[in-house]
Structure 1
Amino acid sequence: MFSEELRAHAQPIMTAIHEHPFVRGIATGYVPREALIFYVEQDFQYLSEFIKIYATAITKLTDRTEIKFFANSIDFILNSEIHPHHVFCDVAGVQYEMLQHATPAPKAYLYESHMYRAADTGLLLNILAAFQACPWTYHEIASKQVQEKANNQANPFKGWIDFYAKTDDDSQTTLSDQIFDWIDRLASEATSSQREEAMQFFLKSCELEWQFWEQAFYQQDWKFKSVID
């Protein structure tokens, strides 16, 4: 299956994400306050663009069940994915509303541009492959940390871990499982060159997920931010 190829090729990146100091800090219960703030500022902006990519995907669809899937995904980002942000804000001791006006940092800007480039190809397979890295890597992170029993009552990030570890309707099916199934259906009808293009969109997104943790942990912003802002 094409989805198995995607995961196999991305495994070195996924391993590096698991080992990243920000991600390990979630498991151990300590991440520097500055890193948490930078992460929420950037992720708020990124998810706002992510919603627009979902909306772009809807224009490629004719099946109402598939349209509903993306509409529900938009609703999830707007109304549910604020919860893990609040977890980080509570730990950092800062109001969420104060972190919603940042300028996308270089790597976040690159990630957003990458997503739009996938959408501009007009191929749903590329759009799905490009944004699949986000739900897949986050569920992998949380699932591993649950196995490590990091989501204990003493961990201030327990709510974050539990949020991303959960499955849909208490079943064994996750959002990323559903998207991988969809990708497999599209890939079965795609040419070899189209599958390779989708593979590259997925792998670059996985790399950019690692970069997102990296920029937040070290607060990597524009060098000439005073000019760019």
Structure 2
Amino acid sequence: MLFSEELRAQAQPIMTAIHEHPFVRGIATGYVPREALIFYVEQDFQYLSEFIKIYANAITKLKDREEMKFFANSINFILNSEIHPHHVFCDIADVAYETLQHATPAPKAYLYESHMYRAADTGSLLNILAAFQPCPWTYSEIAQKQTKEHANHKNNPFKSWIDFYAKSANESEGSLSNSVFQWIDRLAENATPQQRQQAMQFFLKSCELEWQFWEQAYHQEDWHFKELLTTEKNSHNKKLSYNRKTTIQ
């Protein structure tokens, strides 16, 4: 069995739970609460910004220019294409996208970002690929399943969102998800059992965090003591205000 097949088999219970999550089912049925859509976009904008940095970090570990190109194209996709599904959510929620780009990462988003950086810090390209693969893989799976269910009918306001990820999963040059799984298999061939197990854990934890990401958005799970956690920024703003008054006087 290929290592990628092992990864998908182990993650299947999580993938099933993602398909059944009320936010994901809401995309299929055409209704997700406005507050959930807004929270999702706020958090995903910040998460994808960190994702770009992880990709950039991966490039520094490569020697092959074709492999570098792969990550460069992935960065371009996030910057210039993956804003489309965000706009879909914003249009449905009737909110300006630009107003949702300055949120503080919520606890689970913060954990996910930290998890990704931990994978990068191992210095292992196999770990990096395993850690970020659940993001494109789970979205591809969601879109393909909902397309098979004909959820992307013209009366579903989320049709464009479903079509976007379904198309990304079926690009002529090969989907991002399939390409990464093939890359993971090549790296796993020369990995020790311990290295494969470590990569497996990064993959499964990222799958769990994908489910958690939907969960936090659906319930708007934020920091309980958020005001305290933004004290430093507030103090900085107060200091600037005080300095302005002092200068004026």
How high is the TM-score relative to the length of structure 2? 0.91
- The corresponding residue for 1:219 is 220
Distance 1:169-1:33 versus aligned 2 partners, 3 A rule: closer
Q: How does 1:127-166 map onto structure 2 within 5 Å?
A: 127-166=128-167
- The corresponding residue for 1:55 is 56
Q: Is the 8 A contact 2:85 2:160 kept in 1?
A: yes
Which protein is bigger by CA-based radius of gyration?
2
- The corresponding residue for 1:120 is 121
Deviations 1:56-79 (A, max 9, x none): 000000000000000000000000
Structure 2 counterpart of 1:41, which letter? E
- The corresponding residue for 1:107 is 108
Q: Displacement, 1:217?
A: 0.0
> Distance between the aligned counterparts of 1:73 and 1:168, measured in 2?
14
Q: Is the 8 A contact 2:140 2:169 kept in 1?
A: no
- The corresponding residue for 1:179 is 180
> Distance between the aligned counterparts of 1:185 and 1:15, measured in 2?
27
> Distance between the aligned counterparts of 2:159 and 2:7, measured in 1?
29
Q: Displacement, 1:166?
A: 1.1
- Residues 1:9 and 2:10 aligned together: yes
CA RMSD of aligned residues (A): 1.0
Q: Is the 8 A contact 2:169 2:177 kept in 1?
A: no
- The corresponding residue for 1:72 is 73
Structure 1 stretches lacking a partner, 5+ long = none
Q: Displacement, 1:171?
A: 2.6
Q: Is the 8 A contact 2:133 2:180 kept in 1?
A: yes
SS of match in other structure, 1:166: helix
Deviations 1:57-106 (A, max 9, x none): 00000000000000000000000000000000000000000000000000
How many percent of aligned residue pairs carry the same amino acid? 79
What is the aligned residue count? 229
- The corresponding residue for 2:243 is none
How high is the TM-score relative to the length of structure 1? 0.98
- The corresponding residue for 2:43 is 42
> Distance between the aligned counterparts of 1:175 and 1:63, measured in 2?
18
Structure 2 stretches lacking a partner, 5+ long = 231-249
Deviations 1:12-36 (A, max 9, x none): 0000000000000000000000000
> Distance between the aligned counterparts of 2:167 and 2:176, measured in 1?
10
Q: Displacement, 1:133?
A: 0.3
> Distance between the aligned counterparts of 1:159 and 1:14, measured in 2?
22
